[in-house]
Structures are given as structure tokens and as C-alpha cells.
Amino acid sequence: QKEVEQDPGPLSVPEGAIVSLNCTYSNSAFQYFMWYRQYSRKGPELLMYTYSSGNKEDGRFTAQVDKSSKYISLFIRDSQPSDSATYLCAMGRHNFNKFYFGSGTKLNVKP
């Protein structure tokens, strides 16, 4: 079993829709949670990070962590064609130098 599971998609939505991207994990030691956006042939860009359960909002993006269910989500409101990219979740542990990544979900927002 992979430590981090993420549906690869692709996920296709119309412009303006609310997008929900999700990851599940198996290691309860994970304490830090990150979401990245990656455009084709570019490096991943850090969108959101959090280290606690609950919601964190930044503009159109909301990161949600449910540690009891080992489940994290990224919500994108009013999605735009420019949001079309692959979204990666990542997790880390305290005093641990490595990170664990999901395989990425490809999102396509249609105009």
C-alpha cells in the first residue's frame, strides 16, 4: 500500500465550478500537508501548506485536513482555465527530512 494515495484523474470541469481534489494517507505520523500545482514541463509550485486539522483559506483555494480520517482536500472556487494543471499533495513528518507525494491529479477547466 502506498503511503499517499491520489486519484490521477483526469478531472474535467466547466469554468466557474468548484473543484475538489483529495488525498488519503496511511501514516498517522504525518503532520505537515502541502498542495502543489504543476504545469506541464514546469516545476511544482507550492500552493498551500498546513500542519493542523481544519481548514486554511487563501483566495480561491481552501486546504482541508482531517487527521482522524487521514484525508486531505484542496478546494478551488470559481475555477478558471488557468487552473488547468496537475495538482500534487505532499506530506511530511516532524524532524524527518523526506516528503511523501501523491502521484498527482490532472485537472482540466474548460472555458
Partner 1 sequence: SQTIHQWPATLVQPVGSPLSLECTVEGTSNPNLYWYRQAAGRGLQLLFYSVGIGQISSEVPQNLSASRPQDRQFILSSKKLLLSDSGFYLCAWKPQGTNEKLFFGSGTQLSVL
Query: 43: which residues sit within 8 A by CB, 6+ positions away?
Result: none
**Is 106 strand, coil or helix?**
strand
Cβ atoms within 10 A of the Cβ of 44, count?
18
Is-contact 49 37, C-beta < 8 A? no
Binding mask 27-56 for partner 1 (x = CB under 8 A): ----xxxx-x----xxxxxx--xxx-----
The residue (of 76 and 92) whose beta carbon lies closer to partner 1 is 92
63 makes contact with partner 1 (CB under 8 A): no
Closest CB 16 distance from partner 1, rounded Å: 28
Binding site for partner 1 (CB under 8 A): 8, 31-34, 36, 41-46, 49-51, 88, 90, 92-99, 101-104
